[in-house]
Structure 1
């Protein structure tokens, strides 16, 4: 029997992305799957129902009841989980560290849930990596926000009134978001420097035409992420960074570790030492912030006139391309298991096994299991 794949409208405030695009729906149908969507499932990303050729358009409750596989951008609500059949499959960005009750509901409904942020960071997994695809949008948008808020031009300009010096921009963190931010700031003509505690990023930063800011601290880790700094390393980094920040007009911070609070990199004292009118854009504001005092979705102005812009869900601000990339990521993950319209999960495949959050009434991800057990003990 053909697998039925469903998508509904995202209900999280401000979320404009769609988990299923017309392009991906067509590809899934070509692999033998049946597709059902809620009316308006892609409307906020400018994908009309009519663009989903050969797809059934239903009410949300009907789509959920029919779903063998449920595709999501934001984690499913408790109501959506309750509406799914036992044994259904959920695939999306599930944020299990933020809501133990959601993981418990998935477990209790015997839902097989794949949290795409748990996907192993391997070469084979790159085409499925939702964190990277959406981080690219975030890095791009963050620099545009900074350029709009800055009281200076980004590029050097030669005018009848004299030469205007370019803005000095620092990008903190050289992951996907940081590298996209560096590239965007360079395109806008700024004088750009990049900083990361992982020494292997120096070549990547310089390949984009930026200067590597060396603070004398190295924290190479595993899986593409930095290890946690020691107290001595953190003190050395903060002292050196505080001095360097005095010369920058714009700072964009992008440091994040999935499933954990964002590392604090810039404290209030550093902000106080920056020049009046400087702008900081903190991409990590939603997960605790890289900058002391940043607030997700708000701009805070310090006593010395530094604007700290805490962003919220930047990928949703470019819903067309963000949705296209996200939906392709999910398709590439589904492709591992979808054969002639039937879904067959190969638990010997590490991409499937390690991305699994819940299955057959069990929590498969040990850190999340411990979190749920702790929450239960506290009830």
Structure 2
């Protein structure tokens, strides 16, 4: 069984799918590991470290992709500089495991099915206790929440903690975090460690205790509808509920020194949480860090990938925050992949068991077919829009 680690070609992607420590463990299990030359360089894992772990370094990209039984990546397959698609390099019947974003980009599932590749999307891992060790969305979101607070602290023209000095007492910064999923909770914990006063809001009332356990105040809004979707994710709410929510959070945004937004809905545009009118009411020098920038942003003024100043407020729309901490992001992601592969393999061979709820949810294509109904519906929507 040959497992290959591809080098990421996306400019902003610094992570790598496997790290040397994990490679060494897999080789002890009798697996053959190929690593594309330079695959770990941007994550500070050089080829020599992989060779020392027992991996074979492959300089020929075409060979690595076409001869792999299981190919591991971080970002979805893309077009190469020579105009060829990475998907076209995969051999029929091989297994691809990666972030694939199939709900937002269902065409990728169509192409993988046409290539007769068995594809497992890391975004589709279910939010269950048994799947926690494979939940790459959570492991990477935690990094994003941590880094968002550091970015905010660097941009804010104030201290985060309260300081008592000979020149007087400095009040702590007020941080308002919108969304208390994995990223939001890590942001709360990090902001509290830095000494800030933290408030947090989420449409899911069930997260109240988690927010309070981290030392933050929970801003509660009672809505007359279900706000939690399957798997524990926040559910898209009605326009009436959105309006009610905006009315309540406006006052908290106005009084905050920093607002960090983290709300995302899988496969859909990020919900608008901070309107331009809210931005206008914020204090000059305040900062917004919009973690959802890649999905369009939670703030009306967000420009994905750029830092801008609007109405005296610095608005930061970072792209791919986990990649900015590539060492630990890669380590965590590699453990997520390894846990999933342990489920897939039996006696050093791939065994796709759809009776297993994790494999059933994560496997989006197999034997030339798209397996997910949600992806099929998304693909029909895209096809209808084009025609």
Query: Distance in 1 between the 2:183 and 2:267 partners?
Result: 17
Residue 18 of structure 1 aligns with which residue? 16
Structure 2, gaps ≥5 residues long: 80-84
Residue 71 of structure 1 aligns with which residue? 72
Query: Distance in 1 between the 2:96 and 2:167 partners?
Result: 60
* 3-state SS, counterpart of residue 142 of structure 1: helix
Q: CA offsets per residue over residues 218-259 of structure 1, 9 Å max, x none? A: 753132122222222221111111122111100100111222
Q: 1:287 aligns with which of 280, 283, 295?
A: 295
Q: CA offsets per residue over residues 118-149 of structure 1, 9 Å max, x none? A: 11111000000000000000000000000000
Query: Distance in 1 between the 2:171 and 2:118 partners?
Result: 56
Q: CA offsets per residue over residues 244-280 of structure 1, 9 Å max, x none? A: 2111100100111222211111111111111111100
* 3-state SS, counterpart of residue 335 of structure 1: helix
Q: 1:298 aligns with which of 303, 306, 329?
A: 306
Q: 1:197 aligns with which of 203, 218, 225?
A: 203
Q: Contact 1:33–1:342 (CA<8 Å) still a contact in 2?
A: no
- Residue 374 of structure 1 deviates from its aligned partner by 4.1
Residue 229 of structure 1 aligns with which residue? 237
Residue 239 of structure 1 aligns with which residue? 247
- Residue 376 of structure 1 deviates from its aligned partner by 4.1
Q: Contact 2:141–2:182 (CA<8 Å) still a contact in 1?
A: yes
* 3-state SS, counterpart of residue 96 of structure 2: strand
Query: Distance in 1 between the 2:7 and 2:57 partners?
Result: 12
- Residue 101 of structure 1 deviates from its aligned partner by 3.4
Query: Distance in 2 between the 1:217 and 1:290 partners?
Result: 20
Query: Distance in 1 between the 2:352 and 2:192 partners?
Result: 44
- The answer on 1:370 being equivalent to 2:371 is no
TM-score by length of 1: 0.96
Question: Kindly tell me: are residues 193 and 19 of structure 1, through their superposed partners in 2, closer, same or farther at Cα, counting changes over 3 Å?
Answer: same
TM-score by length of 2: 0.94
- The answer on 1:126 being equivalent to 2:127 is no
Q: 1:188 aligns with which of 189, 194, 218?
A: 194
Q: 2:33 aligns with which of 15, 32, 35?
A: 35
Residue 171 of structure 2 aligns with which residue? 165
* 3-state SS, counterpart of residue 285 of structure 1: helix
Q: CA offsets per residue over residues 267-311 of structure 1, 9 Å max, x none? A: 1111111111110000001101111120111112112x0111111
Give the aligned length.
Answer: 376
The equivalences for 1:1-379 within 5 A come to 3-52=1-50, 53-58=53-58, 59-78=60-79, 79-217=85-223, 219-222=226-229, 223-303=231-311, 305-377=312-384, 378-379=386-387
Q: Contact 1:32–1:342 (CA<8 Å) still a contact in 2?
A: no
- Residue 31 of structure 1 deviates from its aligned partner by 2.3
* 3-state SS, counterpart of residue 292 of structure 1: coil
Query: Distance in 2 between the 1:323 and 1:176 partners?
Result: 18
* 3-state SS, counterpart of residue 120 of structure 2: strand
Structure 1, gaps ≥5 residues long: none
Structure 1: which 4+ aligned runs deviate by more than 4 Å? none
